[in-house]
Amino acid sequence: MGRSIRRADNGRAKLYERIFVAMCIGAVLLPAITLLGLLLSLLSDGLPRLSWDFFTSFPSRKAELAGILPSAVGTLYLMALTAVIALPLGVGAAIYLEEYGRKRKLATIIEINIANLAGVPSVIYGLLGLGLFVRTLGMGRSLIAGACTLALLVLPVVVVASREALRTVPMGTREACLALGATRWQTIRQVVLPQSLPGVLTGCILAVSRAMGETAPLVLVGALSYVTFLPDGLDAPFSALPIQIFNWVSRPQPAFLVNAAAAIVVLLGMMLVLNAIAVVVRDRMQMKLGRPA
Amino acid sequence: MEAIAGVAGNTHDVSRSQFRGRAKKPSERVIEVLLVLSGLISVFTTAGILYTLAAETFAFFEHVSILEFVTSTEWTPLFADKHFGILPLVAGTVLTSGIAIAVALPFGLMAAIYLSEFAPSWARRALKPTLELLAGVPTIVYGYFALVFVTPLLQKVMPSLSGFNALSAGLVMGIMIIPMISSLSEDALASVSNSLREAAYGLGSTKLSAIFRVVVPAATSGVAASVILAASRAIGETMIVAIAAGQQPRFTLDPRVPIETMTTYIVQISMGDVPTGTVEYRTIFAVGSTLFLMTFVMNVFSQRLARKFRER
């Protein structure tokens, strides 16, 4: 009797387990399916709108004449500037923390700061940009103010990725170099950095790709949604793709929603290209270094 | 090439003791100072955030009493009859974030249990990058999705649903934060020692009861850390709610009507032309301070909990 009961229980337990696993798989698939549905609906709404004119036109009150030229150019400038600012600062901070700062009090303080900054909402960075760069430092509602704000926002990403890359270089490599008489900085510049470069660059590209989609900080710094000129300097007013998308999404006419979908396709396309570059860079360089990809 | 022999050794820990006291090359010092400075940028950033928020917030409270700010249920700083009660904005924020967590907690936890306890390694290899992809989609895209796709869909089932509402913004935000909960929770579940699972099996429990009575309880602090972190992200999330949840500060927990979150208010004001130095301008910093405080406390709490399970 005991045996039969146990067997029945076992059968039921197996059934419950199967049901539960099926539910779990559903839970994992829900976000994936949502993502797929999102992409499909974007492509079906936006792709037909993508014409050459859409890329070369300025915004307009008429949805079918409006284009993304100033906002796309603004985004490209912004990303270049953000990378130029965030890359040296982030890699420098990572080198300090990994190569110089071990067990120093200052390094611990910096680490705690970076961990906390990573959790600060991006709209708060916008307030910082507005109060510090736009007003206090007098940069105005300019390209450079936007780039500085975005650079601070993605700095934690660059630092974390660069530290991980630096950590993959074996201690023995550093010691060998030092034993040959190189100074600490010579070791870092000629041995450690070249070896960790694939990881560092990948991290930076991913950081820029994250900055590319940020909207709220740029709204606060004062990016414009209706621009009839291209930025001609660091202090020029500017627009950016997410800002243009936000503006079009906020309008009631359906034709502008189609424009928004098309602009989102362009934005996601640019991010996809960046990520593909990151993958290629990493593989190429790892091959050069003679490590398996 | 710089002269190498003279400074050999004194720059590295291994042989530092032997050469202690010998001066470093000036160029090496300059570089070290530059590196320290770039590290200090993060400290300056924190200080900058605190200073900017605090300065404008104190100026704000010279005009508005703190008591009104935290107790009044009306938020009308742009009207002739001005009221500065932040509760409607807090209610909007809590409502959208609450809906998001209600979606993300069960789905995220189940996804984590599947990935850590059941999934074959090929499935894990395929699913984890897909989930990470979700986190890389700009939030403005989710906002578009909520407004153009989810709201019309929900309106077919709930005709009373307004075009801007907390429900669809919260649902989409919930899907967005599933990966945050699942990835950190999976780490927590995977860090539960196998001997605990074996002990449970040894006492005759089935796989399910081992998971729910032993593994998940043992990973509680990690799971809680992931949920708090995700909630903090939801509270600070801006574009989804700015696009899909409306811009009407309302002291309500009704998910069908337009509301306004703290983040939306900040964006709404900075899109208009509010002159510096006015009370209206300072409201966004006062609201920003409130938002910053809430997310900061949650992040610190989450980090504490996460450290607890990592130490084990």
Confidence of residue B125 (pLDDT cuts 50, 70, 90): confident
State which residues of chain A have pLDDT below 70.
Answer: 1-9, 289-293
Residue B156 has pLDDT above 80, yes or no: yes
Decide: helix, strand or coil at residue A287.
helix
Which residues of chain A make contact with B52, given a CB cutoff of 8 A?
A: 127-128, 130-132
Sequential DSSP letters for A151-183: HHHHHHHHHHHHHHHHHTS-HHHHHHHHHTT--
Confidence of residue B19 (pLDDT cuts 50, 70, 90): very low
Distance separating alpha carbons of residues B265 and B290, to the nearest angstrom: 12
Does residue B23 sit at the A interface (CB-CB below 8 Å)? no
Distance separating alpha carbons of residues A145 and A236, to the nearest angstrom: 10
Residue B308 has pLDDT above 50, yes or no: yes
Interface subset of A 166-195, CB within 8 angstroms of B: 174-175, 178, 180-186
Which residues of chain A make contact with B138, given a CB cutoff of 8 A?
A: 212-215, 242, 267-268, 271
* Lookup: tokens for B295: 């997310």
pLDDT of residue A9: 62
- Domain for residue B18, yes or no? no
Which residues of chain A make contact with B7, given a CB cutoff of 8 A?
A: 183
Contact indicator for B69, B86 with CB cutoff of 8 Å: yes
- Domain for residue B108, yes or no? yes
Does residue B11 sit at the A interface (CB-CB below 8 Å)? yes
Q: Answer with the residue of higher pLDDT: B38 or A229.
A: B38
pLDDT of residue B79: 82
Burial (CB count <10 Å: 0-12, 13-18, 19+), residue A172: exposed
Distance separating alpha carbons of residues B201 and B182, to the nearest angstrom: 25
Which residues of chain B make contact with A31, given a CB cutoff of 8 A?
A: 107, 111, 130-131, 134, 175, 178-179
Distance separating alpha carbons of residues A178 and A157, to the nearest angstrom: 30
pLDDT of residue A228: 79
pLDDT of residue B312: 60
Residue B6 has pLDDT above 70, yes or no: no
Does residue A293 sit at the B interface (CB-CB below 8 Å)? no
Whether A264 and B144 lie within 8 Å, measured CB to CB? yes
Whether B242 and A216 lie within 8 Å, measured CB to CB? yes
- Domain for residue B190, yes or no? yes
Q: Mind listing the pLDDT tens digit for each residue in A115-141? A: 899 999 999 999 999 999 998 898 888
Least confident of A40-49, B18-27, B98-107, B190-199: B18-27
Whether B39 and A119 lie within 8 Å, measured CB to CB? no
- The domain total for chain B is 1
Q: Which of B46, B207, B238 sits opposite A123 (nearest CB)?
A: B238
Burial (CB count <10 Å: 0-12, 13-18, 19+), residue A128: buried
Mean pLDDT of B265-278: 85
Domain that holds residue B243: 87-311
Q: Which of A13, A216, A271 sits opposite B208 (nearest CB)?
A: A13
Does residue A127 sit at the B interface (CB-CB below 8 Å)? yes
Interface subset of A 17-46, CB within 8 angstroms of B: 17, 20-21, 23-25, 27-28, 30-32, 34-35, 37-38, 41-42, 45
Q: Which of A89, A123, A155 sits opposite B236 (nearest CB)?
A: A123
Decide: helix, strand or coil at residue A126.
helix
Task: Give which of A281, A138, A9, A72 is closest to B204, Cα–Cα.
Answer: A9
pLDDT of residue B17: 39
**What are B75's strand-pairing partners?**
B84
Distance of CA B76 to the CA centre of its chain: 28
- Domain for residue B92, yes or no? yes
Residue B282 has pLDDT above 70, yes or no: yes
- Domain for residue B43, yes or no? no
pLDDT of residue A280: 87
- Please give the interface size between A and B, counted as residue pairs whose CB atoms are below 8 Å apart: 269
Residue B10 has pLDDT above 60, yes or no: no
pLDDT of residue B278: 86
Dihedral angle of Cα B126, B129, B130, B135, to the nearest 10 degrees: 160
Decide: helix, strand or coil at residue A225.
coil
Contact indicator for A120, B53 with CB cutoff of 8 Å: no
Question: Tokens 């910082």 appear where?
Answer: A128
Task: Fill in the amino acid letter for A30.
Answer: L
Interface subset of B 180-239, CB within 8 angstroms of A: 182, 206-208, 229, 232-233, 235-239
Residue A10 Cα distances to A19, B203, B205, B207, angstroms = 14, 15, 10, 11
Q: How far is B82 from chain A (nearest CA, A)?
A: 23
Q: Which of B40, B118, B139 sits opposite A110 (nearest CB)?
A: B40
Does residue B268 sit at the A interface (CB-CB below 8 Å)? no
Does residue A108 sit at the B interface (CB-CB below 8 Å)? no
Name, in order, each residue with C-beta under 8 angstroms of B126's C-beta and a sequence gap of 6 or more.
none
CATH number at residue B223: 1.10.3720.10
Contact indicator for A114, B303 with CB cutoff of 8 Å: no
Which residues of chain B make contact with A93, given a CB cutoff of 8 A?
A: 35, 38-39, 41-42
Whether B28 and A184 lie within 8 Å, measured CB to CB? yes
- Domain for residue B42, yes or no? no
The total number of residues written for chain A in this structure: 293
Interface subset of B 58-77, CB within 8 angstroms of A: none
Confidence of residue B116 (pLDDT cuts 50, 70, 90): very high
Q: Which of B136, B208, B267 sits opposite A16 (nearest CB)?
A: B208
Q: How far is A42 from chain B (nearest CA, A)?
A: 9
Mean pLDDT of B221-246: 94
Name, in order, each residue with C-beta under 8 angstroms of B41's C-beta and a sequence gap of 6 or more.
A89, A93, A152, A155
Confidence of residue B134 (pLDDT cuts 50, 70, 90): confident
Distance separating alpha carbons of residues B137 and B131, to the nearest angstrom: 11
Contact indicator for B229, B255 with CB cutoff of 8 Å: no
Mean pLDDT of B51-60: 94
- Domain for residue B52, yes or no? no
Contact indicator for A247, A264 with CB cutoff of 8 Å: no
* Lookup: tokens for A66: 């409006």
Distance separating alpha carbons of residues A75 and A246, to the nearest angstrom: 14
Q: How many CB atoms lie within 10 A of CB A242?
A: 27
pLDDT of residue A291: 54
* Lookup: tokens for A203: 């991290």
Mean pLDDT of B98-127: 93
- Domain for residue B2, yes or no? no
Least confident of B54-63, B130-139, B145-154: B130-139
